[in-house]
Structure 1
Amino acid sequence: MRRSNFEDQPVDYAAVGATQAADLMQYPPQGYVPAEDSIRLGSGRERYEAAASTLLSWGVQRDAGIDVHDVRPGSGNEYTGIQFDDEGNAVAPNRRHSEQRFAPDGSAFLDAGTTAKLRGKIGRYNLESKIRVVYLVENQNSTAFAYGTVSTAQMSGEESFMVELRDDDSVWFTVRSFMRPIGAKYRAFPPLGRARMTAIATAYMRALSPTWASPTT
């Protein structure tokens, strides 16, 4: 029998890894609301590497005002995600790092299978949930990870975060998600759930952007 405690509990939705789908905005998992926002962070390899380091050490969440605590590495048996080519075809499973890695400031990097608890307030929205990192993808010019909710009182689903260095040397940050309401008020008033998603994504982009500007959807 599978234990149902947090450390060994699967995410609470079925479409694990769907934030990687190229057509997420057109065909989200049934019953879920998709969202995607991007912002330019600057340009150059140095800016990309700094942003990627911040991303992988929970800097986006913490700088957005969210406390990331009870962080625990996975056991090594978790789903690590699939790599896709430019046309959205699955090509290979992601690698899992065998050793703990750290950012220049000493913060531990996350990895597929990492679990944590998030708690904070963004605008008028309280955020408290348990999450599991469901995939981590690191290439020469792009770094991305996603986590899914393990248990939550408000919204259930997946959020992904990607930093990429594009061919024109510009560095971009993209937040994608699909969520469905769990809390009673969000089920009763779906626009509140969409407003919550927008507010949280905006806070994430503001946290990573050195000079905040309006996002491009």
Structure 2
Amino acid sequence: MSTLTYPEVGATRLGPLPRGYHHLHHRSRVGRGAADFAAAGAAITEWRMHRASGARVEASARRAEPGGDVRVSLGLGPLRFTAPCEVIWTAYGEDGRTGFGYGTLAGHPERGEECFVVDLAENGTVWFTVLAFSRPASWYARLAGPMVPVVQHWYARRLGRTLRRIVAAG
């Protein structure tokens, strides 16, 4: 287990999100009913959502488990950014919720935590949520400045669309 680069470990699970960071909250509907909830939860926790969105994922376990290492990389060719993380917490169906949160390790361009969760609402709607707090850790993230939140929101929306497609495909 490596050292996390921020002190507010677990804040994406328990809240509130800490001050002094950029906050991201994206929510989208991805399906309806128990079968869609199960399919969405499996796609998130088995890394399929990230991979189907175009990210490369190297994980120490087949599915998200606390203490597991994961490296997510995005980009093309030499313009690929790698983000090493550690899974901080997981939820597997408890209270109609499945997903995980991971935190940044040394070498990640940002410092903070992000979670990917699906919830099954009482009316049967399956909601996907990305919740994160982050601030720059690398020179290039600082240089990118206000573009970083724009890219983070774009990627969260992309994950929502990707998950919706996975669920619809069964």
Compute the TM-score of the two structures, normalised by the length of structure 1. Answer: 0.69
Q: Residue type of the partner of 1:197?
A: Q
Pairing 1:80-91 to 2, within 5 Å after superposition: none
After TM superposition, give the deviation of residue 163 of structure 1 in Å.
0.5
Match of 2:126 in 1: 171
2:90 paired with 1:136: yes
Taking only aligned residues, the RMSD between alpha carbons, in angstroms, comes to 2.0
| Cα distance between partner residues in 1 of 2:143 and 2:160 | 28
Aligned length: 163
Equivalent-residue separation in structure 2 for 1:193 and 1:169 (angstroms): 34
Find the structure with the greater CA-based Rg: 1
Identify which of 80, 90, 109 aligns with 1:154: 109
Paired residue type of 2:60: R
- CA gap of 1:16–1:54, structure 2 versus 1, over 3 A, is same
Which of 2, 19, 41 is equivalent to 1:9? 2
| C-alpha distance after superposition, 1:16-50 (max 9, x if no partner) | 111124443xxxx2421111000001211111011
In the alignment, the residues of structure 1 paired with residue 81 and residue 155 of structure 2 have an alpha-carbon distance, to the nearest angstrom, of 9
Letter in 2 for 1:50: A
C-alpha distance in 2 between matches for 1:12 and 1:23: 19
Matched, 1:183 2:138: yes
Equivalent in 24, 38, 46 of residue 27 of structure 2: 38
Give the AA of the match of 2:73. Answer: R
5+ unaligned residues in a row in structure 1: which ranges?
A: 1-7, 74-107, 212-217
1:36 and 1:13 map into 2 onto residues whose CA distance is: 19
More deviation, 14-23/132-141: 14-23
Aligned-partner Cα distance in 1 for 2:143–2:51: 30
Q: Between Structure 1 and Structure 2, which shows a larger proportion of helix residues?
A: 2
| Distance in structure 1 (CA, Å) of the matches to 2:63 and 2:140 | 35
* Structure 1 counterpart of 2:68: 114
Q: Is the 8 A contact 2:84 2:108 kept in 1?
A: no
Task: Give the letter for the 2:39 counterpart.
Answer: A
Secondary structure of the corresponding residue to residue 165 of structure 2: coil
Are 1:18 and 2:15 matched, yes or no? no
The aligned counterpart of 2:41 is 52
In structure 2, the gaps of 5 or more residues are none
After TM superposition, the runs of 4+ consecutive aligned structure 1 residues lying more than 6 A away are none
For residue 186 of structure 1, report the CA deviation from its aligned partner.
3.2
